[in-house]
């Protein structure tokens, strides 16, 4: 389609274009979801020249419609860089800073950055889920969100604005330790909730010596103090315990934007630290974000 | 040589048989050092069948003498496992638990383990350096030692006994982050002391959110808050700062069993945290340990 041609039925295509995966949805004017797809054409699998035919293929499948894309497509590793919006940031701010690629009928949603005297952090994609969850009524305007993954993100909102973010390399550290170095070969067990995972949480939460707590995984197995098949759960507990324990969540509600085994582990850790968890459907949050953003974008 | 044949001149061969490297020395009866060699025949390069010919080759080079070996040769990845001695441990305890392989004319020095209600830790090789430094008069009997490397070890002695040990995976974590994952490609700069390294120390020391501090390396570069060529020094500062900052060293003397660039960085970090450093020659400490141990062994 060409830029400026209004879609006949008011539908759009929303893409969550991540590092390794991509999800695309047709969203009708009333916000209802039509056809959708998920594949492994994340930005790491794409060269710049691959984007125009990829968008054409998306339109062939989902309709000749305007495309709104969020996530790593707007990063330096993506197609066109959409500079970060500084926190505090809300949906209108994201819309105002969105990058329009007219020739492609594409709008790229910017990420959100935090830069203070003591902290620097960034997100791309999570901002739309968090603000979308609020816009869609899935979470209150003042909330704490947790988005477990390779890099867990803690996001705090006030009055439907993102005011704080802390990224924790929990999943990546576990994968690095499991795949390489001296703990490799000890962390292949299934990680599930249980005494070993909870002992790990207790060790990791609030610890100032994470590098020592991780070596203890090996030492405790060598000394017969922990069963080898518990090492993975214990190590995961140490890392997730450190992650969750660094946040002030005692007595607070944490909105978990995840599902599956990893979300279950975070739920255990958050509750062990005195928090209350509420599960939020990440897909519904993303789609809610796109649906409300399009109004600000005039699409 | 055959077991029980006394060496004519009272000399012995001492081997520091590590994971990737091996150092061997001829030590005369008076403790003076003769010929020595260093190569890459660490335990990871050796199969069990390789040890007898390797020992024969050592004797051809250094003399047909009894061999005392410390380090990973006594681990489950080495030749014959020498069970750990529990802390508190002194040189006579190491001698009493030494593993004699009579057929090979070899004595393997055991490592030292720590197991308390809250901690588990182990060492193999460092115990002989620490107790050797004390026996040789290079450090007092009550001391704090720091042995930077892939795995830094903090060892506390009282009355010439090892009473505490904490291993920190500082070097391994840096190598994993440098080689893999999202920080790969950002950490190739030379790590030297300077404002970036010291800022990293300040961020890492006492931090309960190491996994977040590490992500900030990337975020601060993306946001133009830190020059890309400073990222490696900052990340190293965060990790070494976390390592050193977890120890109670303010106003205390730390005996640094290392030399070179890494020792210099730890010296900066220790002094930044209010400690005083004293350099101890690790080779002299090891040789002092073997020389004094042989008396307890009756070799």
pLDDT, tens only, B50-66: 999 999 999 999 999 99
Nearest to B169 among A122, A214, A222 (CB): A214
pLDDT in tens, A142-169: 999 999 999 999 999 999 999 999 999 9
Residue of B209, B243, B269 for testing the chain A interface, max A β-carbons within 10 Å: B209
Mean pLDDT of A2-6: 45
The verdict on a CB contact (< 8 Å) between B181 and A167 is: no
pLDDT in tens, B106-134: 999 999 999 998 899 999 999 999 999 99
Q: Give the pair of three-digit tokens for residue A257.
A: 């934007």
Nearest to A211 among B182, B226, B242 (CB): B242
Chain A positions in Cβ-Cβ contact with residue B168 (cut-off 8 Å): 209, 211-212, 215
Q: Which residues pair with B112 in a beta bridge?
A: B85, B123
Helix spans in A159-260 (H): 170-179, 195-204, 210-222, 231-245
The verdict on a CB contact (< 8 Å) between A211 and B170 is: yes
B67 Rama class: left (phi>0) / alpha (psi -120 to 50) / beta: beta
- d(CA A171, nearest CA chain B) in Å: 10
CA dihedral B134, B137, B139, B143 (to 10 degrees): 50
Alpha-carbon gap, residue B82 to B66, rounded angstroms: 18
Is residue A73 over pLDDT 90?
Answer: yes
Cβ atoms of B183 and B168 within 8 Å: the answer is: no
Q: ipTM of this complex > 0.90?
A: yes
Could you give the 3-state DSSP secondary structure of residue A273?
Answer: coil
The verdict on a CB contact (< 8 Å) between B180 and A179 is: yes
Cβ atoms of A178 and A187 within 8 Å: the answer is: yes
Q: Which residues pair with A38 in a beta bridge?
A: A23
Q: Give the pair of three-digit tokens for residue A212.
A: 């020592």
> To 10 degrees, what angle do helices B231-245 and B195-204 make?
40
Q: Give the pair of three-digit tokens for residue B109.
A: 């020095």
Nearest to B206 among A173, A208, A226 (CB): A208
Torsions phi, psi of B86, nearest 5?
-75, 140
Torsions phi, psi of B161, nearest 5?
-125, 140
Alpha-carbon gap, residue A221 to A238, rounded angstroms: 15
* Chain A residue at shortest CA distance from B167: A212
pLDDT in tens, B169-200: 999 999 999 999 889 999 999 999 999 999 99
Chain B positions in Cβ-Cβ contact with residue A226 (cut-off 8 Å): 120
Strand segments (E) across B102-229: 106-108, 112-115, 120-123, 143-147, 152-158, 161-168
Q: Which helix (H) or strand (E) holds B297?
A: helix B282-297
The verdict on a CB contact (< 8 Å) between A215 and B151 is: yes
Is residue A76 over pLDDT 80?
Answer: yes
What is the per-residue pLDDT for B7?
Answer: 46
Residue of B120, B152, B177 for testing the chain A interface, max A β-carbons within 10 Å: B120
* Chain B residue at shortest CA distance from A240: B211
What is the per-residue pLDDT for A7?
Answer: 45
Tell me the C-alpha to C-alpha distance, in Å, between residue A267 and each of A86, A146, B57, B212. 29, 10, 59, 19
* Chain B residue at shortest CA distance from A83: B223
Is residue B4 over pLDDT 70?
Answer: no
Chain B positions in Cβ-Cβ contact with residue A243 (cut-off 8 Å): 211
Sketch out chain B's domains with CATH numbers.
12-122 (3.30.420.300), 168-279 (3.30.420.310)
């Amino acid at each position: 389609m060409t830029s400026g041609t209004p879609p006949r039925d008011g539908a759009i295509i929303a893409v969550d274009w991540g590092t390794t995966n991509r999800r695309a949805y047709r969203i009708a004017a009333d916000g209802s979801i039509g056809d959708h797809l998920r594949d492994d054409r994340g930005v790491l699998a794409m060269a710049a020249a691959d984007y125009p035919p990829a968008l054409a293929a998306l339109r062939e499948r989902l309709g000749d419609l305007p495309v709104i894309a969020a996530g790593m497509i707007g990063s330096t590793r993506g197609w066109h860089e959409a500079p970060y919006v500084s926190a505090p940031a809300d949906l209108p701010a994201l819309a105002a800073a969105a990058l329009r690629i007219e020739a492609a009928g594409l709008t790229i949603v910017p990420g959100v950055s935090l830069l203070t005297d003591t902290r620097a952090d960034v997100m791309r994609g999570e901002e739309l889920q968090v603000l979308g969850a609020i816009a869609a009524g899935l979470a209150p305007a003042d909330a704490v969100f947790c988005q477990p993954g390779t890099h867990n993100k803690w996001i705090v909102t006030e009055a439907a604005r993102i005011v704080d973010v802390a990224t924790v390399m929990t999943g990546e550290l576990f994968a690095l330790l499991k795949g390489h170095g001296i703990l490799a070969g000890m962390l292949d067990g299934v990680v599930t909730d249980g005494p070993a995972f909870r002992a790990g949480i207790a060790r990791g939460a609030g610890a100032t010596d994470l590098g020592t707590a991780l070596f203890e995984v090996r030492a405790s197995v060598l000394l017969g103090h922990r069963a080898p098949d518990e090492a993975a759960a214990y190590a995961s507990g140490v890392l997730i315990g450190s992650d969750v324990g660094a946040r002030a969540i005692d007595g607070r509600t944490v909105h978990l934007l995840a599902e599956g085994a990893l979300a279950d582990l975070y739920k255990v850790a958050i509750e062990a630290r005195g928090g209350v968890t509420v599960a939020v459907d990440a897909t519904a949050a993303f789609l809610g974000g796109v649906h409300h953003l399009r109004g600000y974008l005039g699409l």
